[in-house]
Amino acid sequence: MSQLTEQQINKMAAQIYQMIEKPSIKKTDKSETEHQTMGVFPDIDSAVNAAKKAFDELMTMSFSKRKDIISEIRRSMDIHAEDLARRAFAETKLGRFTDKVEKNRLVIEKTPGPEILEPVAFTGDRGLTLLELAPYGVIGAITPVTNPTSSIICNTIGMVSAGNAVVFNVHPNAKEVSTYNIILLNEAIVKAGGPPNLVTTVQKPTIESAQALMKHPGVRLLVVTGGAGVVNEAMSSGKRAICAGPGNPPVVVDETADIENAARAIVKGASMDNNIICVDEKEVFVVESVADQLIRAMAANKAYVLNPQQMFELSKVIFTKDNGPEKPAVMNKSLIGKNAQEILSKIGLNVPEDIRLAIVDVKKDHPLVWTEQMMPVLPIVRMPDAESAIEIAKKAEHGFGHSAIMHSRNIDNLSKMARRMDTSIFVKNGPALSGLGYEGEGYCSFSIASPTGEGITNPRSFSRERRCVMVDHFRIV
């Protein structure tokens, strides 16, 4: 199959929507239809069946073919990274276009491929035992509105690297860009010589279709990325589930920290895609003796400092329900993921466009501290010392076990917080995103599975172990 132009793909996407609307599609030749759909199906059943067929075909292909497929996916997604970010922003109206481009590039470059599936061998007098990582088959993947394309690209690289096929039920509010992304992925897979429909989706994703996917007998593993509702649903589905749930990542800054570096990192991290990413910094606990210095340094790095009266006014706008002290409030959905400039304009403040973040000095029981706000409005709480700051950070994280950050040069404090938080990601002296390999070491995933324990998922997470034993031979030393 020759490579399609962007115009052709757009046209194809429009045609697919029309075709699926028409019942006559069911009467056409099956294999032809599967090619034409480019992964988009009218219902979960046909999406799972097509993915199963593709999985069976993939199993007849070589491991090096799988590597070719992943290389072509990376190449194609790199070409479309900006376009996908633009479409995601236009459809969801969340976050910042430029930050979405960075997120796409991060997963394209840093999601591990098949090379991570290294086998393990045991040898001895009684021979050789080999452990290899095998695919599950068809995975049902549910993705969030906050990272629509980066989650789909990351999940596809990870799951296909492990040899699986994937059926996506994407967030309904990101269905256009997600469908387009899935068409592009299929195009890349087929171009590399892989089977059509290795990655599928339904034309009209809903909560009901997500639940149908969770129950479908053809789905062997679920991977859900989202809030508490979808995690609970997946965990009670009766299937094996990898669940990437919510977070409320706290930051502790102690008196030994490099305050300039801490300020830069916190503004960068907390404002990334307007705070909608699950790892983004959501509240800061700073030791009193360096609090003023930190706030001044954040202001010098494009943060706008709100006074108590302004915060009082803003609370009436950003919360639709205040559930009282030390409790998560209900955020105003229409302001989630908006720029600081737009949010602050709601209380009559006119701040420059390059202001990335609003910060506010609040008491520790303020609802903003306890809420996964997903807005670039960051509460800063003064604490008497590092010990009390770590304790309150533990509480504010709600036991999600997701992510936490500390700025300190005291190794005892760093160790204490790392142990106490018990999170999948603990970042020292950088933005939380460095835990995903962004301006940091290590690989990336946009599905961080804390409730079920896989942590930063990779192709190994989407594999099952198989053992092959040779008795009395093949130890060669």
448 part of the interface to ligand NAD, by CB under 6 A: yes
- Cα 127 from chain centre: 43
Give the pair of three-digit tokens for residue 365: 């029981």
Closest separation between CB of residue 157 and ligand NAD, Å?
15
If the CB atoms of residues 210 and 272 are measured against ligand NAD, the closer one turns out to be 210
Between 213 and 295, CB nearer to ligand NAD: 213
Instruction: Count the helices and strands in the chain (H runs, E runs).
Output: 16, 20
CA-closest candidate to residue 252, choices 410, 135, 56, 110: 410
Residue 251 C-beta: closest distance to ligand NAD, Å: 16
Determine the interface stretch with ligand NAD among 55-63, 128-136, 294-302, 440-448 (rule: CB under 6 A): 440-448
CB atoms within 10 A of CB 215: 12
**Phi, psi of 117, rounded to the nearest 5 degrees:** -85, 55
Task: Find the binder of ligand NAD among 123, 227, 310, 342 (CB under 6 A).
Answer: 227
**244 scored as a contact of ligand NAD (CB under 6 A):** yes
Shortest separation between residue 332's beta carbon and ligand NAD, angstroms: 14
- The residue from 135, 144, 158, 250 that contacts ligand NAD (CB under 6 A) is 144
Question: Can you list the alpha helix ranges (DSSP code H) found in 227-325?
Answer: 228-235, 259-271, 288-299, 308-318
Pure H helices in 323-381: 340-345, 367-370
Q: Among 66-74, 109-117, 166-174, 327-335, which window interacts with ligand NAD (CB under 6 A)?
A: 166-174
**Residue closer to ligand NAD (CB basis): 168 or 304:** 168
Nearer to ligand NAD, 271 or 413 (CB): 271
* Choices 9-17, 243-251, 348-356, 410-418; region in contact with ligand NAD by CB under 6 A: 243-251
Does position 280 interact with ligand NAD (CB under 6 A)? The reply is no
Taken as a whole, the chain contains a residue count of 477
| Binding piece for ligand NAD, criterion CB under 6 A, among 16-24, 156-164, 225-233, 435-443 | 225-233
First-to-last C-alpha distance (Å) of the chain = 49
- Binding residues for ligand NAD, total number by CB under 6 A: 27
3-state secondary structure of 128: strand
- Please list, in sequence order, all residues whose beta carbon lies within 8 angstroms of the beta carbon of residue 362, skipping any fewer than 6 positions away: 311, 368, 369, 379, 380, 381
Token pair of 104, please? Answer: 């796409």
| DSSP state, residue 2 | P
Interaction with ligand NAD in 350-409: which residues (CB under 6 A)? 372
For residue 92, state whether it binds ligand NAD (rule: CB under 6 A).
no
Sign of CA dihedral 73, 74, 80, 85: positive
Q: Using the rule CB under 6 A, is 147 a contact of ligand NAD?
A: yes
Q: Which residues make up the interface to ligand NAD (CB under 6 A)?
A: 142-147, 170-172, 207, 210-211, 225-227, 229-230, 233, 244-247, 278, 372, 446-448
